[in-house]
Structures are given as C-alpha cells and as structure tokens.
Amino acid sequence: MDADHHIKCHTKCLVCDWQIEDDGIKVEFGDKKVTVCSSECGDKFKKAPTKYIQAALISIFLGLTSNPALAASADEAYKLIVAEQGQLVSRYDATARYVDELEKQIAVLKHDYSREVKTAEDELERQLTLKSRELTDLKFQIRDLEQALKKV
C-alpha cells in the first residue's frame, strides 16, 4: 500500500479521543489504514469500525471537533463510509445465504420425528434466530451508513 492509502487526518484517536503520540498504531480498514493511539484502541476499532467512524462523522457534520484536520477530511470520511458499507453488505449477503441454508436444513428435519433429529432441529433453530438478529443488525448499520453518505 502506498502513502495515498493511509489515512492520518487527525491527531486524536477515533476510538478514545486521546492525543496520538508518535505515529500511533495503524489499523487496516478496507484498502486504507486508520491511525489510533494504541493497540487496545486498534482492537476496539476492528470489532466495531462503524461505531467509531459514525462518531467521527457526527463530529465533522456538527462542527464539534476542534481539530481542523479532522473537520477537513469529509472526502476521506466518505471513502471510509463507502468501504465500511461494502464490508457490511458482503457480511449481510453471506449471513443471508447462511440463513437460507439453515431454513432448508430445518425444513428437511421437520419430516423426521426422532429424538436426535429434534435436538438437531432445535440447534438449527437457535442458530437461525441468532443469524436473523445479525441480519437485522447489519441492515440497520447499512441504513445508518447510507444516511451518513447523504450528509457527506
């Protein structure tokens, strides 16, 4: 990756809002890198990048940031949102395919009334519930990013 693919548009950490010392920690995000203050913040960012990007965007849009470099980074913010949205859509598609497969497996098992099959069916139903919740969450995250894109 060349220098154009590294985002260091701020001197404060996106995760904890502390000052970034030295060069900070680079965290991969799509085809870009985001700089955070520590490996702990890097781990937090990797687990929920949308949360931290949206918080930074809100600061930019509402003019709440005192950091002019961050406020001037609307173009980079747009690119980050598009990258995150692409990742969420991919996760959504994969999860939707998995949900479809679980539903097919459950439909097949419903024709067998043995105890072992009932246990397997219950486990598949549990997985289906979890994945359906994940789909709903992903749908809301994608919607939130689409709304943020309209503001950039």
Q: Which amino acid is at 29?
A: F
> The domain containing residue 103 runs over which residues?
3-151
Amino acid 126: pLDDT? 93
How many Å apart are CA 17 and CA 36, to the nearest integer?
9
pTM for the complete prediction? 0.49
Amino acid 129: pLDDT? 92
Q: Which amino acid is at 135?
A: L
Is beta strand 25-29 parallel, antiparallel or unpaired with respect to 32-36? antiparallel
- Quote the longest CA-to-CA distance of the chain: 66
Amino acid 40: pLDDT? 92
Total domain count, the chain: 1
Amino acid 137: pLDDT? 87
Q: Please give the chain's pLDDT, 152 residues, in tens.
A: 344 444 444 477 878 878 887 888 888 876 677 888 888 988 988 888 777 776 666 655 555 444 445 444 556 666 677 777 778 888 888 888 999 999 988 888 888 778 888 888 889 999 999 999 998 888 888 887 777 666 65
- Tell me how far CA of residue 124 lies from CA of 136, 137, 139, 151, in angstroms: 18, 20, 22, 41
